[in-house]
Amino acid sequence: MLDRYWFGDVERISPEAPVPVVRICAQRRAPGRRGERCAQRRGAGRQATLISVIGDDEAGTLAGAAARRRAAVRTSFHRDAALPTTVKLRVIARQQQLLRIDFETTLRRTRFSRRKLADYERTLPEFDVIVLSDYGKGGLAHIARMIELARMRAERRCWSTRREKTGCAIAAPRC
């Protein structure tokens, strides 16, 4: 996911509709929520790896670069030309968010699902904490297997944002 921020000033209301007209002065890009969480873990001295499917598009390229730069994490991104990268665009004026526009598609099972699972299995022994997150978008096609693998490592804890019972030691609605 790529978060985009457009910052500007509002000096008038549109004559077309009663909405503010924002003159954009600056822009910022950042990794999505998962990338930010990885950055926080890195800031606490922890290692993090982000495994995900992104679109084979400009937003996917920018999201990957932002995650590596901002979060300083290892990434294992699988590009899918049929799946656009999720972009969250926020328009901000005078420190007030005026609008958020989401460009997203709910994931369907892709040919990358098995490759993501293989990456997960390969990197699992390196970590003390596993966070499974898809925000209800369908990115965790193999969650039962992922949890099973994590539980086989008795010292591990598994976090999930899935609402249904996952079998995780700790389930959090939003990580």
Written as tens digits, the pLDDT of the chain (175 aa) is 889 999 999 999 999 999 999 999 999 988 777 777 776 766 666 677 777 788 889 998 888 888 777 656 677 788 888 888 889 999 999 999 999 999 987 766 556 677 778 888 888 887 767 777 776 666 777 778 888 887 776 554 555 555 455 555 444 444 4
Looking at residue 109, what is its pLDDT? 57
Give one word for 75, left, alpha or beta, with left for phi > 0 and alpha for psi -120 to 50: beta
Looking at residue 175, what is its pLDDT? 40
Give domain limits for the chain: 1-105, 109-175
Looking at residue 171, what is its pLDDT? 46
Looking at residue 78, what is its pLDDT? 80
Give one word for 12, left, alpha or beta, with left for phi > 0 and alpha for psi -120 to 50: beta
Looking at residue 121, what is its pLDDT? 85
Looking at residue 172, what is its pLDDT? 46
CA distance 153 to 172: 20
Looking at residue 33, what is its pLDDT? 72
pLDDT tens profile 91-109: 999 999 999 999 987 766 5
CATH number of 1-105: 3.40.1190.30
Collapsing DSSP states into helix, strand and coil, what is residue 13?
A: strand
Number of residues assigned to the chain: 175
